[in-house]
Amino acid sequence: MWVRARVAAAVCAAAVLAGAGGCSSVTHTAKTLRSEFHPAPQSIPSDTTPSSPCDSVTPGGHYVGFSVNGFPPDEAPLKALEHETGIDANIVSFYTNFGSQLNLAPIEAMCAQRVLPLLEIDTPRAVELREIADGSEDSILEQYALDVGTLHTPIAVDFDHEFNGPWFKWGERYSPASVFVAAWRRIVTVFREYDATNVIWVWNPNVDIPGTVPNLAPWYPGNSYVSWIGLDGYFFSATATYASVFERTMSQIRGFTDRPMLIVETGANPTSGRERAIASLFTGATATRGLLGLIWFDYGKTKTHDWYINNDPSALAAFAANAVKYQT
């Protein structure tokens, strides 16, 4: 099993936030006629305190999870990392292209094992954000809403992460803030129309680094369309600290929303001094009010973007030493 019993309450808390009635893998019948739809309230609650039928989250507990290459559907890399770190992940993220068919079985299995799934949907080059914003892609959104809604389990959804950087096709270089916001609101609206109220909407910029937009406020869809704030930030150098990576962006965001935050992607290069960087990460996270937890992005992309720690015993030991205490 991926997770211990103590994790159940954390995921049930997400279920309550999202409007779901608990964490069950049993599906319900999808509504297929618009006349039968009951749109969700236009304001998304930010309260993450669990209530019946869920028990209380362990005081001071947090999400600690992973994103690993090959999962889903391959569980082996995830289980191996859990074993090496001594962590039973209570949140796991994975990626899909907008328009791709969702594989629902792993999502249901995750929640059945008390793991919160975080689905990151990114628009491929063939899809323009303006087409989502103007309703041209509603047929895809409607299918997603039906698929996700029939899960009847909580699921976090993150659309076009790191939109404030120039490196992705959907980023600020290709679409203005107004179009991004319109597309985001269109997605949430269609999900509401199809009664997919089990979604935790995660708005996920990159932290402020050279090349990102200096002002995030115009890119924010508004509290009525966002449940949590996600952040992607990495330790690239030996001088990087939690404060230097995350705090400037967190402070800016707190100027326009008080939504709970989650570090959706983080990692440390070998040149950063991983033991030091990991200790800084968890020390800073522990001290940050309103931070729900973090996800380690366990990928080795390039020499300068090498976050893969499975072959680094000292990094694994540092992660285990810090993460177990932080999670509980």
d(CA 27, CA 24): 8
Count of other CB atoms within 10 angstroms of residue 254:
14
Task: Spell out the SS3 assignment of the chain.
Answer: CCCCHHHHHHHHHHHHHHCCCCCCCCCCCCCCCHHHCCCCCCCCCCCCCCCCCCCCCCCCCCEEEEEECCCCCCCHHHHHHHHHHCCCCCEEEEEEECCCCCCHHHHHHHHHCCCEEEEEEECCCCCCHHHHHCCCCHHHHHHHHHHHHHHCCCEEEEECCCCCCCCCCCCCCCCCHHHHHHHHHHHHHHHHHCCCCCEEEEECCECCCCCCCCCCHHHCCCHHHCCEEEEECCECCCCCCHHHHHHHHHHHHCCCCCCCEEEEEECECHHHCHHHHHHHHHHHHHHCCCEEEEEEEECEEECCEECCCCCCHHHHHHHHHHHHHHHC
| Residue 113: band (very low, low, confident or very high) from pLDDT cuts 50, 70, 90 | confident
- State how far the Cα of 308 lies from the Cα of 122, in Å rounded to an integer: 22
Q: How many degrees, rounded to 5, is the angle at CA 247 between CA 241 and CA 251?
A: 175
pLDDT for residue 126: 82
User: What angle is formed at CA 156 by the lines to CA 109 and CA 245, rounded to 5 degrees?
Assistant: 120
Paired with 155 in beta bridges are: 199
Structure tokens that stand for 253 in this block: 């965001």
| pTM: predicted TM-score of the whole model, two decimal places | 0.84
The answer to whether 246 and 231 are in contact (CB under 8 A) is: yes
245 touches 233 (CB < 8 A): yes
Comparing 29-33, 250-254, 275-279, the range with the smallest average pLDDT is: 29-33
Q: 265-287 pLDDT, tens per residue?
A: 999 999 999 999 999 999 999 99
pLDDT for 152-197, tens place per residue? 788 999 999 999 999 998 988 889 999 999 999 999 999 999 999 9
Nearest to 202 by CA among 316, 12, 44: 44
Q: What per-residue confidence (pLDDT) applies to 33? A: 25
**Whole-number pLDDT of residue 111:** 80
pLDDT score of 153:
81
Position 35, amino acid = S
pLDDT at 55 over 70: no
Alpha carbon separation from 5 to 8, 9, 115, 156, 324 (Å, rounded):
6, 8, 11, 21, 14
Please state the rounded mean pLDDT for residues 24-44. Answer: 32
- Do β-strands 300-302 and 91-97 pair in parallel, antiparallel, or remain unpaired? unpaired
pLDDT value of position 60: 54
- For the chain, the domains span 5-327
d(CA 149, CA 163): 26
Are the beta carbons of 153 and 20 closer than 8 angstroms?
Answer: yes
- Who wins on pLDDT, 69 or 60? 69
What pLDDT does 213 receive? 96
Which residue, 219, 96, 129, 113, is CA-closest to 165?
A: 219
pLDDT confidence of 300, banded at 50, 70, 90? confident
Over the Cα atoms of the chain, what is R_g? 19
**CATH number listed for the domain at residues 5-327:** 3.20.20.80
Q: What is the pLDDT of residues 14-29, one digit of tens each?
A: 443 333 334 433 232 2
